[in-house]
Amino acid sequence: MATQAKTPSLCYTHKPQFFLHNPIPASISLFGNGKGQKKPLNLSCSSNGDDDYYIDADYQVGDGFSFSGGKYSDGPSPSDEWFKQGKIVKAYTSLGSGEKAKDPIFGLAMGADSQAAADVFRWFCVESGSADNPSVILIHGLPSQAYSYRKVLPILSKAYHAIAFDWLGFGFSDKPQPKYGFDYTLNEYVTSLESFINEVAVGKVSLVVQGYFAPAAVKYASTHQEKIDNIILLNPPLTEKHANLPSTLSIFSNFLLGEIFSQDPLRASDKTLTSCGPYQMKEDDAMVYRNPYLTSGASGFALNAISRDMKKELKKYVEEMRTMLTDENWKVPTTICWGKRDRWLTYDGVEDFCKDSKHKLIEIPMAGHHVQEDRGEELGQIIYEIIRKRRFGL
């Protein structure tokens, strides 16, 4: 996110099971960049990475809910390049019955990309820096991915072992259907986070967590304080005014309409991510966030389940987090970084909370809700210095 927001030029049409029978004319530019295509644009979809099909193909594959297909061309994409940088870690045992997941609307069996691991869930993560250095776990918010920390990782890698991961339900990690081993509740995220951290970090860690997943990280830290060196919260929901989901997210929790909108890649990724701050996302970056919703209906169903739980329980989650952070038994060094151009969470009351709880507050004037996306390099330096000073008692 590096340019001021303006009307998006993206002209991508999203319709369920819609297939064009004529190639797109060479003179049409899909993304409105003013340059004509020299050859027809090939849009394709993929269900399992082996079988691709174009939108003018005479047959289809997939899970039936990845409405518009999975990729724009046969060439490498930013999403492919990001995936190559990471690895899959198995953590947190699935409590499902082992049955094939079915969609919640028609009860039909989902495709391969919508099936989670039968035994232990698969998490995608990207590591940077030597494993001999202190570990820093970078935790994205809702709805986002580990990709949001791509500008933070190189900075931290100079002195730390930085690990950014995709939550279950996001990015390249498993996206189990609700009621098939994972229901996307706060407690499940807390216990699964514990399992993941145990797999990737042996010693003490510093946690950096953004947005609506802050309550899960704080709850984990409250019962594992001996393992936490620092916790840094990026625009967390802290006050009573933060106890309701913004309309851009709560719409995914609506009955039936939520299921429909969560399957729209543009609404589930682009519109949601750009509505919370002052910047428009570059198309290459938007493609990475959009990719999970293009390739598997499971991404949308996960977003739907998370939004429903958050809409119902967010007030309780915020109250519990406030209580933990102000409790006299809370010993974890805590810093709150706040992007002041957040359009989802108001700054009102944040300064008072930090003053009363005696937690350090750092303002980032030019960042929105997703601080790491808007001001990645700046945030990376801030995190680096926070951990360095506490590590050496400066």
- For the record, the structure tokens of 113 come out as 């990309």
pLDDT at 187: 95
Question: 116: domain CATH number?
Answer: 3.40.50.1820
Tell me whether residue 234 is in a domain: yes
For residue 18, the tally of other CB atoms under 10 A from its CB is: 11
Tell me whether residue 22 is in a domain: no
Tell me whether residue 40 is in a domain: no
For residue 266, the tally of other CB atoms under 10 A from its CB is: 18
pLDDT at 20: 36
| Spatial distance between the Cα atoms of 237 and 35, rounded to a whole number of angstroms | 43
Tell me whether residue 24 is in a domain: no
Whether the CB-CB separation of 44 and 23 falls below 8 Å is answered with no
CB-side neighbour CA atoms (13 Å) of 392: 7
What single-letter amino acid sits at 311? K
* Total tally of structural domains belonging to the chain: 1
pLDDT at 181: 79
Tell me whether residue 214 is in a domain: yes
Whether the CB-CB separation of 312 and 258 falls below 8 Å is answered with no
pLDDT at 214: 98
DSSP state of 335: E
| Spatial distance between the Cα atoms of 81 and 90, rounded to a whole number of angstroms | 21
3-state secondary structure of 122: strand
Tell me whether residue 4 is in a domain: no
Tell me whether residue 251 is in a domain: yes
| Spatial distance between the Cα atoms of 84 and 196, rounded to a whole number of angstroms | 20
| Spatial distance between the Cα atoms of 379 and 2, rounded to a whole number of angstroms | 14
pLDDT at 49: 43
Nearest 5°: CA angle at 355, between 353 and 357? Answer: 65
3-state secondary structure of 387: helix
pLDDT tens digits in sequence order for the chain, 394 residues long: 444 433 333 333 333 333 333 333 333 333 344 444 444 444 433 434 444 433 333 333 344 444 444 444 556 788 999 999 999 999 999 875 566 666 666 666 666 655 556 689 999 999 999 999 999 999 999 999 999 999 999 999 999 999 999 999 999 999 988 887 799 999 999 999 999 999 999 899 999 999 999 999 999 999 999 999 999 999 999 999 999 999 999 999 888 788 888 888 888 888 899 899 888 889 999 999 999 998 888 899 999 999 999 999 999 999 999 999 999 999 999 999 999 999 999 999 999 999 999 999 999 999 999 999 999 999 999 999 999 999 888 7
- For the record, the structure tokens of 257 come out as 């309409």
CB-side neighbour CA atoms (13 Å) of 263: 22
pLDDT at 270: 86
pLDDT at 62: 40
Whether the CB-CB separation of 140 and 146 falls below 8 Å is answered with yes
Please name which of 305, 254, 350, 316 lies closest in space to residue 143, comparing C-alpha atoms: 305
Tell me whether residue 7 is in a domain: no
Crossing angle, helix 283-295 and helix 78-85, to 10 degrees? 80
Q: For residue 185, count CB atoms less than 10 angstroms from its CB and return exposed for 0-12, middle for 13-18, buried for 19 or more.
A: middle
DSSP state of 213: G
The structure's pTM equals 0.80
Phi, psi (degrees; rounded to nearest 5) at 275: -80, -15
CA distances 40 to 25, 43, 56, 61, 251, Å, are 6, 9, 12, 22, 36
Contacts 24+ apart (CB under 8 A), 35-42: 41/72, 41/73, 42/72, 42/73, 42/74
Show the domain range for 222: 78-391
Phi, psi (degrees; rounded to nearest 5) at 318: -65, -45
